[in-house]
Amino acid sequence: MKLIVKNMVCDRCKRVVREELIKVGLIPSRVELGEVEVDELPATVTLDDVRQLLQENGFDLVDDRRQSLVEHMKVLLINEVQHLKGERQANENYSTFLERKLGYEYSYLSGLFSASEGQTVEKYSIALKIEKVKEWLRYDELTLSEIAWRLNYSSVQHLSNQFRQVTGQTPGQFRKAAQAERRPLDML
């Protein structure tokens, strides 16, 4: 049985979901971002029990096909931007990437995403990229040129302009700020 789980954004999320399911007697055969495979639910555990358990830990169970598709889009984008999976082909934009991975026209996917999340796929992917930029700026190990290259920005100027539009600061100002705030990915 496949369970679609909302708000799983990192490896720690996968570990928490696995551990919590095991506590109630569910042994997952596979745990990926946004998705868990279990053999069967024991007679003593209902889907409502699983939903409540997940909600107590900041996750949620998705049982609507359209919402499941939105979660799949988010996982694909998180994997591309945050985990640098590199599944996009060279110079492939996100719309083509999502069409190829999910088998739906982008206009349909985009409409679903916007209706569900209250923002466009583009705004969401930009927010993910900016959070990754903030992470790397905070570590202070990469130059802005290296960051721009790793995140497929056309130039440092493009990255800087987008960063300023989203945060109100330049990357340099952010790097120097004493309290450089980042947002959790499930809050984007």
Which tens digit of pLDDT belongs to each residue from 155-188?
A: 999 999 999 999 999 999 998 884 556 677 766 6
- Let me know if 124 is exposed, middle or buried by CB neighbors in 10 A (0-12, 13-18, 19+): buried
110 and 95 within one domain: yes
Give the domain-ending residue among 13, 32, 62: 62
Residue whose entry in the numeric block shows the structure tokens 């590199």? 86
Say which CATH number the domain at 155 has: 1.10.10.60
89 and 113 within one domain: yes
20 and 51 within one domain: yes
Cβ–Cβ < 8 Å for 170, 160: yes
46 and 11 within one domain: yes
Say which CATH number the domain at 58 has: 3.30.70.100
131 and 102 within one domain: no
Cβ–Cβ < 8 Å for 9, 78: yes
Residue whose entry in the numeric block shows the structure tokens 């130039």? 155
Cβ–Cβ < 8 Å for 37, 2: yes
110 and 69 within one domain: yes
- Tokens in use for 83? 């985990």
Q: Which domain holds residue 98?
A: 65-120
Give the pLDDT confidence of 64-110 residue by residue, as tens digits: 889 999 999 999 999 888 877 777 777 788 999 999 999 999 999 99
178 and 133 within one domain: yes
127 and 174 within one domain: yes
Q: Is the pTM of this model over 0.85?
A: no
pLDDT of residue 86: 72
- Tokens in use for 138? 């905070």
Residue whose entry in the numeric block shows the structure tokens 């088998």? 103
User: How many structural domains is the chain composed of?
Assistant: 3
